[in-house]
């Protein structure tokens, strides 16, 4: 069955520009250029309204883990819509998909994480986490333990709470953020911020900022530390090996809660079910969304420890969303987890396609424009640089070169993103070796074109 495109591309673009406000976009720029309109998806391939076939190196927004075009997920949604399209889980009611999904999640998470509070997205789930950890400490008789420590250049969503936890300066600059009692420490980005230190020393130094922050704020004021096991939107920042063990040591030494934001890293992306398992970190709460349903339905949640659930359960938690545990979204998420299990996608990332991509991705550092290449499972990044030995930044404002590179990539029908002057990928977990080869070929061509243009324009 094909949904036919009812209008020519320019007409769609004009309507889009006239009526549709896009996230993280300068409206006027897009209106001038016209949006690229995606009409279909199949496996790792997208089709646009002009009929171009595009290799999606980003799984949509890091979410389409099982790839596009899965009839099983569509059927699961249709079945559930016919049976019970909606009911809520407030006021002592429940329904089968929410029950089954919560129980299923408890079987794939570490032993002590057995309780799920559902939300409609990752941002909402992190808002839940803010209220949950503060309520937890209040119920334990420590209402002053309210501060949440996060990291600069972290991404935890776009709601007031999520964006406050996040460490994106451009987001804080709009709308009066962050909210009170959120504290940010440095990120473990050795390439950009490590100076003359070795990666290992830098990893330790950045981890120890957590200990310093706890000491300065006072342990009696700190409720929790939140982090992505690998920062995604911040540029796929994979910390030096020294970082996570030191973070774990500090967390163990202090009475604070740990929130692993697994919205990107979860559901096989890093070669384990969860990124915290890959980096060896034991959280009290995990934030989930994205790969939970492979993006086929909007759903997120917080998976919390037995200890937190028992404390929170002692009083009414005055919090919840109309769509918490939405039955259609939950049914689709369940079917998505079944696909990941049946097709052994987590092991595939760890043992087969992850290592295959890693070799080729790392070899891109042979290109004159490419500095470090980092990759874990199926999330990778590269630093573009005019001078590898010095890890130099371009003289043009940060992001200028990354943007040029991304434009060439789009034109080559490869979706890569840029974060500043880092290029990032996170392809669907089902990507074939042949499609990995295509991705690498197109990336190389993209860097050649970028290199030529930088020379032409005197930006090198
Ligand atoms: C995308 C993302 C979020 C926000 O999820 P939404 O579903 O967009 O609200 C939160 N945390 C991380 C790590 C993310 O990548």
Q: Are residues 110 and 166 in the same domain?
A: yes
- By DSSP bridging, strand 370-376 and strand 379-384 are antiparallel
Counting DSSP H helices and E strands in the chain, the numbers are 18, 15
pLDDT value for 1: 43
Query: Which among 289, 314, 342 is the end of a domain?
Result: 342
Determine the residue of 162, 228, 297 to mutate for testing ligand 1's pocket, defined as the one with the most ligand atoms within 8 A of the Cβ atom: 162
Query: Which among 342, 368, 396 is the end of a domain?
Result: 342
Answer whether residue 34 is part of any domain.
no
Strand partners, 414: 55
Q: Are residues 119 and 132 in the same domain?
A: yes
Answer whether residue 3 is part of any domain.
no
Instruction: For residue 232, give the ligand 1 atom closest to its CA.
Output: 15
Q: Are residues 162 and 252 in the same domain?
A: yes
Give me ligand 1 centre to Cα 141, in Å. 31
Q: Are residues 431 and 313 in the same domain?
A: no
Ligand 1 pocket list (CB less than 6 A) = 121-123, 126, 155-157, 162, 228, 232-233, 261, 263-264, 289, 300
Query: Which among 342, 357, 382 is the end of a domain?
Result: 342
Give me ligand 1 centre to Cα 5, in Å. 30
CATH number of the domain that residue 418 is part of:
3.90.1150.10
pLDDT value for 236: 98
Give me ligand 1 centre to Cα 19, in Å. 25
pLDDT value for 3: 57
Q: Are residues 182 and 233 in the same domain?
A: yes
Distances (CA, A) of 375 to 182, 230, 236, 242, 265: 30, 10, 8, 17, 12
Q: Are residues 322 and 353 in the same domain?
A: no
Give me ligand 1 centre to Cα 418, in Å. 17
Residue 267 near residue 292 (C-beta atoms within 8 A):
yes
Instruction: For residue 261, give the ligand 1 atom closest to its CA.
Output: 13
Residue 300 near residue 72 (C-beta atoms within 8 A):
no
What does the pLDDT profile of the chain (460 residues) look like in tens digits? 455 667 999 999 999 999 999 999 999 999 999 999 999 999 999 999 999 999 999 999 999 999 999 999 999 999 999 999 999 999 999 999 999 999 999 999 999 999 999 999 999 999 999 999 999 999 999 999 999 999 999 999 999 999 999 999 999 999 999 999 999 999 999 999 999 999 999 999 999 999 999 999 999 999 999 999 999 999 999 999 999 999 999 988 999 999 999 999 999 999 999 999 999 999 999 999 999 999 999 999 999 999 999 999 999 999 999 999 999 999 999 999 999 999 999 999 999 999 999 999 999 999 999 999 999 999 999 999 999 999 999 999 999 999 999 999 999 999 999 999 999 999 999 999 999 999 999 999 999 999 999 999 999 8
Answer whether residue 12 is part of any domain.
no
Give me ligand 1 centre to Cα 155, in Å. 7
Burial of 342 (0-12, 13-18, 19+ CB in 10 A): exposed
Q: Are residues 267 and 374 in the same domain?
A: no
- List the domain range (segments joined by +) for residue 328: 72-342
Q: Are residues 351 and 338 in the same domain?
A: no
User: pTM of the prediction?
Assistant: 0.97
Q: Report how far Cα 407 is from the mean position of its chain's Cα atoms.
A: 22
Q: Are residues 174 and 299 in the same domain?
A: yes
């Amino acid at each position: 069955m094909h949904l036919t495109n009812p209008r020519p591309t320019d007409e769609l673009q004009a309507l889009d520009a006239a009526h549709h406000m896009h996230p993280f976009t300068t409206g006027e720029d897009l209106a001038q250029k016209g949006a690229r309109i995606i009409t279909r998806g199949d496996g790792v391939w997208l089709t646009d309204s002009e009929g171009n076939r595009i290799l999606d190196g980003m799984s949509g927004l890091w979410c389409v883990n099982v790839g596009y075009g899965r009839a099983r997920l569509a059927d699961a949604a249709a079945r559930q819509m016919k049976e019970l399209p909606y009911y809520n889980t407030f006021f002592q009611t429940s329904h089968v998909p929410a029950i089954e999904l919560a129980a299923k999640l408890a079987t794939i998470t570490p032993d002590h994480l057995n309780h799920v509070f559902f939300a409609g997205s990752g941002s909402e789930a992190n808002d839940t986490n803010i209220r949950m950890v503060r309520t937890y400490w209040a119920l334990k008789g420590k209402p002053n333990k309210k501060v949440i420590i996060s990291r600069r250049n972290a991404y935890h969503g776009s709601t007031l709470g999520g964006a406050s936890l996040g460490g994106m300066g451009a987001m804080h600059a709009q709308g009066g953020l962050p909210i009170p009692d959120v504290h940010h420490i440095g990120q473990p980005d050795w390439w950009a911020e490590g100076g003359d230190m070795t990666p290992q020393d830098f990893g330790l130094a950045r981890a120890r900022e957590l200990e310093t922050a706890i000491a300065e704020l006072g342990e009696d004021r700190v409720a929790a530390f939140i982090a992505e096991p690998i920062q995604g939107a911040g540029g796929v920042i994979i910390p030096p090996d020294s970082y996570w063990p030191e973070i774990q040591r500090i967390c163990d030494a202090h009475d604070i809660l740990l929130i692993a934001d697994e919205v990107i890293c979860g559901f096989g992306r890093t070669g384990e079910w969860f990124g915290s398992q890959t980096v060896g970190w034991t959280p009290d709460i995990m934030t989930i969304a994205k790969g939970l349903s492979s993006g086929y339905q909007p759903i997120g949640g917080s998976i919390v420890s037995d200890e937190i659930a028992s404390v929170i359960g002692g009083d009414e938690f005055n919090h919840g969303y109309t769509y918490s545990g939405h039955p259609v979204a939950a049914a689709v998420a369940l079917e998505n987890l079944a696909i990941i299990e049946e097709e052994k996608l987590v092991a595939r990332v760890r043992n087969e396609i992850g290592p295959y991509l890693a070799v080729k991705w790392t070899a891109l550092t042979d290109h004159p424009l490419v500095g470090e290449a980092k990759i874990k499972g199926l999330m990778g990044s590269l630093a573009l640089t005019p001078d590898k030995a010095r890890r130099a930044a371009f003289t043009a404002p940060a992001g200028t070169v990354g943007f040029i590179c991304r434009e060439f990539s789009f034109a080559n029908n490869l979706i890569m993103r840029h974060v500043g002057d880092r290029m990032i990928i996170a392809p669907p977990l089902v990507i074939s070796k042949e499609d990995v080869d295509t991705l690498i070929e197109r990336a190389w061509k993209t860097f050649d074109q970028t290199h030529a243009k930088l020379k032409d324009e005197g930006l090198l």
